Amino acid sequence: MRIQKIRLISKKLGQYSSALREESEQKLTISNSGRLWFTAYSGRDDDDQDYSAVRKLGASIGKELASEILEYVNEVFYGRKEGKYISDEHGSFELIITDTKGNNYVYGGELSKSADRIISNLSVKLRELIPIDNLFLFDGGEYQTSEKTTVRYCYCSIEPKGMSTNYFYISDFGLLQSGSFVEIPFGKKNTIMKGTVISSDYFEGENVPFAVEVTKHIIREISQDEFENTDELNENLSREDQDDLDEVEDLIENENYDGMYQWAYEHHERDDVQQIMAKVVQCYEECVRQNMPVAALNLGTLYYEGRYVRQDYQKAFELYKIAADAGEPRAISNLGYCYYYGRHQEVDYAKAYEYFLKGALLFDDANCLFKLGDMYLQGYHVEKNERYAYLMYERAMFECYGDDGRPDPIIPDIMQKMGQCFLYGIGISPDVPKALTLLNNALTGFYYRKKDDPNAVQLIAETKKCIEDAERILDSEE
**Residues 156-169: tens digit of each pLDDT:** 999 888 777 788 89
Identify the weakest region by mean pLDDT among 193-197, 297-301, 385-389: 193-197
- So what's the pLDDT on residue 270? 80
Strand-pair partners of 401? 407
- So what's the pLDDT on residue 442? 95
Residue closest to 305 by CA, chosen among 280, 275, 328: 280
Considering only residues 13 and 2, tell me which one the structure prediction assigns the higher pLDDT: 2
> In the chain, what are the domains?
3-129 (3.30.1560), 152-229 (no CATH), 239-476 (1.25.40.10)
Tell how far CA 309 is from the center of its chain.
17
- Give the dihedral sign, CA 125/80/14/213: positive
Question: Which percentage of the chain shows pLDDT scores above 90?
Answer: 43
Residue closest to 104 by CA, chosen among 92, 91, 95: 95
The H-or-E segment that residue 41 falls in is: strand 35-42
Over residues 133-159, the mean pLDDT reads 73
Q: Which residues contact residue 122 at a Cβ distance below 8 angstroms, ignoring those fewer than 6 apart? A: 72, 73, 76, 137, 138
Q: What is the DSSP string of 341-363?
A: HTSSSS--HHHHHHHHHHHHHHH
Over residues 348-376, the mean pLDDT reads 96
pLDDT tens column, 250-304? 999 999 999 999 999 999 888 777 788 889 999 999 999 999 999 999 999 998 8
- Would the pLDDT of 233 be above 70? no
The H-or-E segment that residue 300 falls in is: helix 293-305
Over residues 206-234, the mean pLDDT reads 76
- Would the pLDDT of 103 be above 80? yes
- Would the pLDDT of 16 be above 50? no
Q: How far apart are CA 310 and CA 304, in angstroms?
A: 9
Contact 182, 265 (CB under 8 A): no
pLDDT tens column, 71-97? 999 989 888 888 776 656 668 889 999
Q: Is 99 exposed, middle or buried (0-12, 13-18, 19+ CB in 10 A)?
A: middle
